[in-house]
Amino acid sequence: MKKIKVKTRKGVARRFHLTATGKVMRRIQNRRHLRKNKSKKAIRNYRIPVEVTGRFALKIKKMLGLA
């Protein structure tokens, strides 16, 4: 019997990435428009990716076909 391959969810693959240690990273929301109202510090901090933790990280790994 052949083993069934798990397809990668392409939307998830575009939004999240994995580090070498296996952490799931995501971008920060609220970056795109209405930026003049936001502080320069906030706009700078939007560039830094944030780790996804808990059950949600496990779900994302499954959708990427890794867990």
Q: Give residue for tokens 């693959």.
A: 13
pLDDT of residue 57: 96
pLDDT of residue 37: 96
Q: Where are the beta strands (DSSP E) in 1-67?
A: 16-18, 24-26, 50-52
Let me know: does 49 contact 26? Beta carbons within 8 Å: yes
Enter the pTM of the model. Answer: 0.81
Query: Which pLDDT tens digit goes with each residue over 7-43?
Result: 999 999 999 999 999 999 999 999 999 999 999 999 9
Q: Which CATH number fits domain 10-63: 3.30.450.40, 4.10.410.60, 3.40.50.720, 3.40.1170.60?
A: 4.10.410.60
Domain boundaries, the chain: 10-63
